[in-house]
């Protein structure tokens, strides 16, 4: 009887956790949706493709547009029972000198649920690392936007890529939420439409995918300590 009771509690807790995660995903999706330009073409993001080069080529084939001329799109994908729509830059080799007046955070998704950010391997708490790097590039500078430039290692499955991508979005959202609390004394989800637009003028994170970025090598382990 006790084991049945414990199992019931575990199921209830699991359902509550999933519902809570889905609710947060909805908040994040709503925030990024506020950045969309209605005139942008919509591209379904297929994270099942083996690497970011094929990913970019697939987008170009789907929307039938020369990305060298029109790199700004609305990306769409589903995760955590939520549809995400968000503005993205899809840059090709022809756009290496594409003028983005902002700082850039390079993120390479690799195996073992890890990412590499500025040559530093992050295996857990990716969300908070995104917040930290965002603050590093924003604070004390006359800058109100960043580009999060994303590639991934060949051979990763779509579940891994989607989850890491979600954690990146979560980090951007957390930073923006901190700004919302600082300016309006309330969370993003509590802002009026007018306040949300004003917040977007204070900070916006642009997601970008490229087909020419060389993956950053995994940094070597530190040398053994001398005794």
Following CA atoms 71, 72, 74, 76 in sequence, which dihedral angle do they give, to the nearest 10 degrees? 40
Place of tokens 């300590």: 225
Single pTM value for the model? 0.81
Q: SS3 of 168, please?
A: helix
Task: Give domain limits for the chain.
Answer: 23-210
Instruction: Name the H helices within 85-220.
Output: 126-138, 158-184, 193-202
Count of C-beta atoms within a 10 Å radius of residue 103 = 15
| Edge-to-edge order in the sheet of strand 145-152 | 42-44, 72-79, 82-91, 204-210, 145-152, 103-110, 114-117, 120-122
- Per DSSP, what are the bridge partners of residue 151? 108
β-strand 114-117 against 120-122: which pairing, if any? antiparallel
Q: How far apart are CA 183 and CA 135, in angstroms?
A: 16
- One pLDDT digit (tens) per residue for the chain, 227 residues: 555 544 444 444 343 344 445 689 999 999 999 999 888 999 999 988 877 788 888 998 989 988 888 889 999 999 889 999 999 988 887 755 555 546 889 999 988 889 999 888 998 889 999 999 999 999 877 888 899 999 887 788 888 889 999 999 999 999 999 999 999 999 999 999 999 999 999 999 999 988 754 544 444 444 545 54
Nearest residue to 68 (alpha-carbon basis) of 39, 100, 94, 101: 94
Q: Which run of H or E residues covers position 104?
A: strand 103-110
């Amino acid at each position: 009887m006790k084991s049945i009771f414990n199992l019931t509690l575990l199921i209830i807790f699991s359902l509550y956790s999933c519902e809570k995660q889905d609710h947060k995903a909805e908040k994040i999706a709503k925030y990024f949706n506020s950045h969309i330009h209605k005139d942008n073409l919509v591209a379904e993001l297929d994270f099942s493709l083996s690497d970011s080069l094929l990913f970019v080529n697939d987008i170009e084939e789907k929307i039938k547009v020369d990305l060298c001329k029109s790199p700004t799109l609305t990306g769409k994908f589903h995760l955590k029972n939520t549809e995400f729509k968000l503005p993205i830059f899809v840059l090709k080799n022809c756009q290496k000198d594409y003028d983005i007046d902002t700082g850039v955070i390079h993120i390479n998704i690799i195996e073992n649920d890890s990412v590499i950010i500025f040559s530093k391997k992050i295996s857990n708490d990716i969300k908070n690392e995104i917040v930290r790097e965002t603050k590093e590039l924003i604070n004390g500078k006359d800058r109100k936007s960043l580009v999060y430039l994303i590639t991934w290692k060949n051979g990763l499955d779509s579940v891994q890529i989607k989850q890491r991508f979600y954690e990146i979005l979560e980090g951007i959202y957390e930073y923006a939420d901190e700004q919302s609390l600082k300016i309006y004394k309330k969370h993003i989800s509590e802002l009026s439409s007018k306040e949300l637009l004003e917040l977007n003028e204070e900070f916006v994170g642009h997601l970008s995918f490229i087909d020419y970025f060389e993956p950053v090598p995994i940094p070597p382990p530190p040398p053994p300590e001398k005794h």
